Structure 1
């Protein structure tokens, strides 16, 4: 009797571990709808009173005058992918890969404000804000 109970207990533990690990899946999803957290108009100071602008709506992204949307063709056709907390726009298309984006709180003008962080390249993070500040808050991790 004890042998059967031990076998059943072992079987339950094995099935429990299997069930717990099957629910954890890391995969990228793809769509043409931008996440709500990224939407809005974002600015990054580029110097001499000029700004780089990103405008994200439900189904489009405008970056410095170039519009990307699902209705466009070729390099300007919008594709949104997610990996972890980062969102990629047009990933896989080398000519129109816009980089990876996420929002986070950054210290700006003495207080933490929501900002859009763009990663495009090795170790460089570009920080965009909802308001025009005459200071660039971008940073590098690798020099």
Structure 2
């Protein structure tokens, strides 16, 4: 009897977990970020509360199609414009600290593809911090 009542209690007090998309970017990843691509060229991401500009293309909640901004969270990662087409997804992002020029700085990590990571800094630094986890 106790087991049956306990089971009813659990069934009544559980809430489904869902990853709902939002149109507001988290404060953690907001700012202007740079990733050195070589030959004095940089990739730039500018994240504001209601928009993301990635290499000159602007994504907002009011746009149509693949430029319509959507944000969802998966663990410690934020997925921007998750899509079944990899070319339309901006990737997954999170911030962390990384040793840059002798001190730990906050960086934005962009995960795309399988095991590929771009490291974005808040200043233009001519050094590639990008890495591939699968070697």
Aligned twin of 2:104: 112
Which of 42, 52, 56 aligns to 1:51? It is 42
For 1:116-127, list aligned pairs within 5 A.
116-127=108-119
How high is the TM-score relative to the length of structure 1?
A: 0.82
Cα displacement (A) at 1:27:
3.0
User: Which runs of 4 or more aligned residues in structure 1 lie more than 4 Å from their structure 2 counterparts after TM superposition?
Assistant: none
Hey, what's the Cα distance between the residues in 2 that align with 1:30 and 1:42?
A: 23
> CA-to-partner distance for each residue in 1:75-101, whole Å, 9 max, x for gaps?
111111111111001102514111100
**TM-score in terms of structure 2 length:** 0.87
Give the gaps of 5 or more residues in structure 1.
1-6
Q: Give the length in aligned residue pairs.
A: 133
In structure 1, distance between residues paired with 2:80 and 2:113: 14
Note if contact 1:52-1:64 (Cα within 8 Å) is conserved in structure 2. yes
Compare 45-54 and 85-94 and name the one that shifted more.
85-94
Larger Rg computed on CA atoms? 1
Larger proportion of helix = 1
Is 1:91 matched with 2:75?
no
